[in-house]
Structure 1
Amino acid sequence: MSLIRKLLSLLLYTINTIFWFVPIFICGLIKLLPIPLLQKTMSLVAKWCANKWVACNSLSQNLIAPYQLNVSGLDELKPKDWYLVIANHQSWVDILVLQRVFHNKIPFLNFFLKKELLYVPILGLAWWALDFPFMTRTSKSQLKKNPKLRGKDIETTRKACEKFKTMPVSIVNFVEGTRFTEYKHSKQKSPFNHLLKPKAGGIAFVMQAMGEQISKVVNVTIHYPEGVPTFADFIAGKVKSVNVQVEVMPVSANLIGDYSNDPEFRVRFQSELNTLWQAKDAQIAELANKQ
């Protein structure tokens, strides 16, 4: 039975993705025309298609591989506001869960992408059509060769994000930088029981580039009571329940600063993030004990 569910789910995901990807790609082609009003219209159309893609994926989950979704903390969210979403990361299933939880609650979830990904055939244009922000990061070796490049990455990214001043957006950041595994946990010697060490640089970069635009930080804790699933487990219906706890936090002025060049700010930022991660670790332990 699980094999049938898996094949049917995979078929529906594939059909749904192709069906909505085509108009998103076409929107990207039309956006290449340097007409601001047309570009903004195509962005809205592309996001509408992406939202329908998420809705159809959620419908597929309910029909073929249903699971109980236990969510708390969504009351303060608005579909027309600016958010930074941070979450622990255990599986690619996390993205599908986040999309389902926040569908029509906040703007479509966007990820910061490296500027090089803009040139990936087909996908790069689709991401651009959806207004995924592309960031530039100058390496330490490049800075040594040319110190004048210092600060250029933030400046370039800020310019790329100017469109979000009038267009609500949700930026997602998996703060650990990679999916949790016992091997990575052991290799890192992480001080947390259920989490990897948080990487402050990525989220600090987002806050430095977009801090004035972001209204709230949405802190998400994801827990799988039956154990962390693979995508294959998920589409086969082996996931019976998922716990998601959401905490909406104000954007503190203490979170915005020059992480790269201000040592005091860097220490303060890392300390605040570690405190947040300690609370998240305790949350996961509490959820695990309730099983």
Structure 2
Amino acid sequence: MGTPVPPAIPMLPLRVTFVSLLLVANTVLHVGPLLLVALIKALLPSKRLRKASDPWLTGIAESWIGVNSWMVDRFFRTRFHVQEDMTLHEDGHYLVLANHQSWVDIVVLQKVFNRRIPLMRFFLKRQLIWVPLLGLAWWALDFPFMGRHTPKQIARRPELAGRDIEATRRACDKFREIPVAIMNFVEGTRFTPEKHARQGSPYRHLLKPKSGGVAFVLDAMGTGLHAILDVTIAYPAGRPSMVDLLADRIPDIHVHVRQRPIPEELLHGDYQNDRAFRVRFQQWMNGLWQEKDEDLGRLLGEEARVA
């Protein structure tokens, strides 16, 4: 009898576990100093001193993103194809709009823009403040937390809509004083074929855009924003999960970035109460989304022709 052959080691679970532990370790190493600086900031006696601590908080967050991006380059074979034709500024003020298919989108956006534009702030569901470590980090970095009430809840209690508007205004008041990139997934949720069919979306690859959040940010920030960065993310091999990323099952990611001017006529309107303005704003948003749908189809088609 020959020597027994040992059972094969399940490499995929080991890989996912190994990379996940590295990501967790990176998060722990950065969140500790971040919270310490945030505590010191809260105890400082003057607004000027508290503002002076902001670059330290931002630097720690950008370092965390930088290490994550290094791991993507080091451990994954994913190829990033980025198309852009603008000069970006780390001290600018941007509104970043993107389609949303997966939590991988956030990794992609951070890898593409880290240290090229200001730290991106997302509007987050209030429940996410309880996410271990990250919830406190988002709070320390002044990420705005929103109620995200459903239309039925707002219909029963109209004052809930006002709370989210006020939260948006408070966040934008802070953002006027610092370089910032405000991130908005305009569809409001991740794309799935089921949601697409349920909406009856007129777009081939996108859900219907929700214009209200964009309108509120433009109104609250006014001329404090320099431009819109319109980002289209395409996954030619199919819509991935975070497990697909950790398992190195995403061969290619295409990212197309357009820099758009902010239409002056859309800066100072009452989206909630002025129906004519709301219609104009939605028409502008729908036009932008139609162009994004065409961009997304082109990016997916390009990959299909190469294959």
State whether TM-score is above 0.5.
Answer: yes
Q: Tell me the equivalent position of 1:265.
A: 277
Q: Tell me the equivalent position of 2:29.
A: 19
Q: Tell me the equivalent position of 1:280.
A: 292
- Counterpart residue identity of residue 214, structure 1: L
- Counterpart residue identity of residue 98, structure 1: L
Q: What is the Cα deviation at residue 63 of structure 1?
A: 1.3
Instruction: Trace 1:11-90 onto structure 2 (pairs within 5 A).
Output: 11-33=21-43, 34-73=45-84, 75-90=86-101
**Shift in CA distance, 105/121, structure 1 to aligned 2, threshold 3 Å:** closer
Distance 2:237 2:144 in 1: 35
Q: Tell me the equivalent position of 1:178.
A: 189
Matched, 1:165 2:196: no
Q: What is the Cα deviation at residue 25 of structure 1?
A: 1.4
Q: What is the Cα deviation at residue 59 of structure 1?
A: 0.8
Q: Which moved more, 1:67-76 or 1:115-124?
A: 115-124
Contact 2:168 2:216 in 1 (8 A): no
Alpha-carbon displacement from aligned partner over 1:4-40 (angstroms, at most 9, x marks no partner): 3312211111100111111111222222224323322
Contact 1:176 1:199 in 2 (8 A): yes
Contact 1:136 1:157 in 2 (8 A): no
Q: What is the Cα deviation at residue 250 of structure 1?
A: 0.9
Instruction: Trace 1:200-239 onto structure 2 (pairs within 5 A).
Output: 200-239=211-250
- Counterpart residue identity of residue 287, structure 2: T
Q: What is the Cα deviation at residue 269 of structure 1?
A: 0.6
Structure 2 counterpart of 1:196, from 203, 207, 211: 207
Matched, 1:7 2:35: no
Q: What is the Cα deviation at residue 157 of structure 1?
A: 3.9
Aligned-partner SS, 1:70:
strand
**Shift in CA distance, 120/165, structure 1 to aligned 2, threshold 3 Å:** same
- Counterpart residue identity of residue 168, structure 1: P
Instruction: Give unpaired runs (5+ residues) of structure 2.
Output: 1-10
Q: Which moved more, 1:191-200 or 1:132-141?
A: 132-141
Q: Tell me the equivalent position of 2:262.
A: 251
Matched, 1:103 2:118: no
Contact 2:81 2:252 in 1 (8 A): yes
Distance 1:152 1:3 in 2: 44
- Counterpart residue identity of residue 163, structure 1: K
Contact 2:31 2:133 in 1 (8 A): no
Aligned-partner SS, 2:25:
helix
Larger radius of gyration: 2
Distance 1:133 1:89 in 2: 19
Q: What is the Cα deviation at residue 108 of structure 1?
A: 0.8
Alpha-carbon displacement from aligned partner over 1:38-92 (angstroms, at most 9, x marks no partner): 3223322111010000100011111111311100115321111000000000000
Q: CA RMSD in A?
A: 2.5
Equivalences, count: 287
Instruction: Trace 1:132-147 onto structure 2 (pairs within 5 A).
Output: 132-134=143-145, 139=154, 141-143=156-158
Query: Identical aligned pairs, as a percentage?
Result: 46
- Counterpart residue identity of residue 276, structure 2: E
Alpha-carbon displacement from aligned partner over 1:68-119 (angstroms, at most 9, x marks no partner): 1100115321111000000000000000000000011100110124667668
Aligned-partner SS, 2:89:
coil
Instruction: Give unpaired runs (5+ residues) of structure 1.
Output: none
Aligned-partner SS, 1:161:
helix
TM-score by length of 1: 0.89
Contact 1:76 1:248 in 2 (8 A): no
Distance 1:10 1:124 in 2: 18
Aligned-partner SS, 1:248:
strand
Aligned-partner SS, 1:83:
strand
Q: What is the Cα deviation at residue 186 of structure 1?
A: 0.7
TM-score by length of 2: 0.85
Q: What is the Cα deviation at residue 151 of structure 1?
A: 6.7
